[in-house]
Amino acid sequence: MATVSLFEEKQVRRAWNAEEQRWYFSIDDVVLALTDSANVKDYIKKLRKRDPELSSYWGTNCPPVEMTAADGKRRKIKSLPKSRERLSKRK
């Protein structure tokens, strides 16, 4: 099930994984909501370039999950699972 939630009036795409019992949120949408960046993809690219640790586990911790894209088509979109465990690994 894929849905859209709002964060400070900005849309954030999310998908529920019933097997894992967790939500996955579109990274692009979360970054846009938090930064108001004019170019989210470029913002993420620069962030990864500045932080080698983040870049090293990006593909592992940010799996592509099927969600509805802006054009209405279903696509695999980089996502971040909602998990307290994920935040504690970074410290």
pLDDT at 59: 73
pLDDT at 58: 80
pLDDT band at 3 (very low <50, low <70, confident <90, very high): low
How far does Cα 54 stand from its chain's mean position?
14
Give the Cβ contact number of residue 28 at 10 Å: 19
Backbone angles phi, psi at 33, to 5 degrees: -65, -35
pLDDT at 80: 77
pLDDT band at 83 (very low <50, low <70, confident <90, very high): low
68-81: b or e for each residue (b if 16 or more CB lie within 10 Å)? beeeeeeeebbbbb
Sheet containing strand 10-17, strands side by side: 2-7, 10-17, 22-26, 74-81, 64-68
* Torsion of Cα atoms, 42 then 88 then 86 then 8, to 10°: -60
Lowest mean pLDDT among 20-29, 34-43, 44-53, 59-68: 59-68
Indicate whether 31 pLDDT > 70.
Answer: yes
Give the Cβ contact number of residue 9 at 10 Å: 6
